[in-house]
């Protein structure tokens, strides 16, 4: 009797050891393919929208050919490029699958665990920005949409577990271009340029922007990549509208982007000082794109002032229309349409943000941030 009990106990221990061995071997195996972050949450505009506007009553949509011609899934997903965007390439670096668009049916249940893309074409920091193009998720609304996903995640994770998960997640914010292009510069639609000087306007934007960043912090996010605004005066649409001579850009538009960027960078320094349990990184996309435009041949670009798909001056007066034929040498163009870069340019931007020196990504790059 006694010995049978002992034998059964030994057997139980043996089985436990075998199971633990299998368990730990699986853990190690899983580690090799484990993504570098728990999840990525993206907030932004058409530069990274991956289909949210497909579900809105908006004129700002990219769900038709030839958008996505190089994406490799045989359809236009709603990305404003010939292929992948910054978020897609960043996901590759981080070992994540493509993020679902918040408004798509994929963004529910297990579909949101590795992150969600909230970006909406024509949206901006200010609530009114982009209203000339119809519905959009403003930055504030995008933060609310994230909060609603967070409530869903609370059903599958305990408080402490959720805190750790958010701590290991990355927030990416690419916002602000539309507050100029689809607000301040559109003087017939918006009053902002009559109310605010350029300086006062950039102060207002930074203040509203910081408010949303802190809302995300309070919801639990701790790692932030905050991208600068690009060279607004060099996009084909601005070149066309301002009749910029070849080789020049609309300097007033670039100067306004620079003013915003300078303030964003000092805000990042301030945030890092005030919130020691979080990391805020400034992505210097402005200088990275400037380098691409000026030292274009270093990167294999031969066309820097003309859209690959579009009509009129600089192929930027009317942006890429349904079924229009795009250029063939898409990897040699910085700009895909009147407003947006090609995937070749997006890829370079991500390489610099992920691995670049502090002049490209400050004070640390994304790789360093996610390793913290
Ligand atoms: C998140 O991580 C940071 C270090 O990266 C740490 O200081 C902080 O306490 C962590 N917070 C939570 C909720 O785990
Ligand atoms: C162009 O390349 C040169 C040499 O590498 C560099 O010094 C300069 O800063 C680059 N221009 C821009 C706008 O980045």
Domain residue spans in the chain?
1-31, 39-370
What number is the average pLDDT over the span 172-183? 98
The pLDDT tens digits of the residues spanning 74-91 come to 678 899 999 999 999 999
Establish whether residue 277 lines the binding site of ligand 1, counting it when its CB lies within 6 angstroms of any ligand atom.
yes
- For residues 360 and 368, give the distance between their C-alpha atoms in angstroms, rounded to a whole number: 13
The alpha carbon of 221 and the centre of ligand 1 are apart by a number of angstroms equal to: 10
Check residue 31 and give its pLDDT. 46
pLDDT of residue 345: 98
By most ligand atoms within 8 Å of CB, the mutation choice from 161, 222, 276 for ligand 1 is 222
Total residue length of the chain: 372
Which ligand sits closest to the CA of 293? 2
* pLDDT on residue 2: 52
Q: Is the pLDDT confidence value at 240 over 60?
A: yes
Task: For CA atoms 248, 251, 257, 260, give the dihedral sign.
Answer: positive
Residue found under tokens 């509208």: 241
pTM for the model: 0.90
Give the nearest ligand 1 atom to 167 CA: 1
User: Mean pLDDT of all residues in the chain?
Assistant: 92
Does the domain formed by 39-370 have CATH 3.40.50.1110? yes
Ligand 1 centroid–CA 165 distance in Å is 10
CA–CA dist 87, 349 (Å, integer):
11
Contact 231, 289 (CB under 8 A): yes
> How far is residue 276's CA from residue 100's CA, in Å, rounded to a whole number?
31
Provide the pLDDT for residue 20.
Answer: 55
The closest ligand to the CA of 279 turns out to be 1
Gap between the Cα atoms of 86 and 65, Å rounded: 20
Q: Is the CB of 219 under 6 A from ligand 1?
A: no
Q: Is cis: bond before 363, omega within 30 of 0?
A: yes
Higher pLDDT among residues 109 and 283, named by residue: 283
Per-residue pLDDT band at 72 (split at 50, 70, 90): confident
| 130-134, 181-185, 266-270, 318-322: segment of lowest average pLDDT | 318-322
- For residues 25 and 35, the model is more confident at 35
């Amino acid at each position: 009797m006694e010995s049978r009990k002992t034998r059964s106990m030994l057997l139980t221990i043996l089985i436990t050891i075998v199971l633990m061995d299998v368990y730990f071997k699986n853990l190690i195996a899983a580690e090799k393919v484990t993504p570098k972050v728990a999840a990525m949450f993206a907030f932004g505009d058409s530069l990274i929208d991956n289909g949210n506007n497909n579900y809105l009553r908006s004129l700002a949509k990219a769900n038709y050919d030839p958008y996505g011609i190089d994406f490799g899934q045989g359809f236009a997903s709603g990305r404003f490029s010939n292929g992948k965007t910054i978020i897609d390439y960043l996901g590759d670096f981080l070992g994540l699958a493509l993020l679902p668009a918040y408004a798509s049916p994929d963004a529910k249940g297990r579909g949101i665990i590795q992150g969600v893309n909230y970006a909406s074409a024509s949206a901006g920091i200010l609530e009114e920005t982009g209203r000339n193009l119809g519905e959009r998720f403003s930055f504030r609304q995008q933060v609310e949409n994230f909060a609603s996903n967070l409530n869903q995640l609370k059903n599958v994770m305990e408080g402490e577990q959720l805190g750790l998960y958010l701590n290991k997640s990355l927030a990416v914010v690419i916002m602000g271009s539309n507050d100029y292009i689809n607000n301040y510069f559109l003087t017939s639609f918006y009053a902002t340029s009559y109310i605010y000087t350029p300086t006062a306007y950039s102060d207002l934007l930074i203040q509203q922007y910081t408010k949303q960043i802190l809302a995300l912090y309070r919801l639990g996010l701790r790692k932030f990549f905050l991208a600068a605004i690009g060279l607004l005066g060099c996009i084909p649409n601005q070149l066309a509208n301002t009749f910029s001579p070849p080789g020049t850009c609309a300097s007033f538009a670039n100067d306004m982007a620079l003013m915003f960027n300078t303030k964003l960078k000092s805000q990042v320094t301030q945030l890092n000082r005030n919130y020691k349990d979080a990391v805020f990184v400034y992505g210097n996309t402005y200088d990275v794109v400037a380098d691409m435009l000026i030292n274009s041949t270093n990167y294999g670009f031969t066309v820097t002032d003309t859209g690959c798909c579009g009509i009129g001056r600089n192929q930027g007066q009317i942006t890429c229309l349904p079924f229009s034929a795009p250029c063939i040498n898409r990897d040699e163009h910085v700009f895909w349409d009147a407003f947006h870069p090609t995937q070749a340019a997006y890829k370079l931007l991500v390489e610099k943000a992920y691995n670049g020196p502090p002049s490209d990504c400050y004070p640390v790059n994304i790789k360093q941030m996610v390793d913290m």
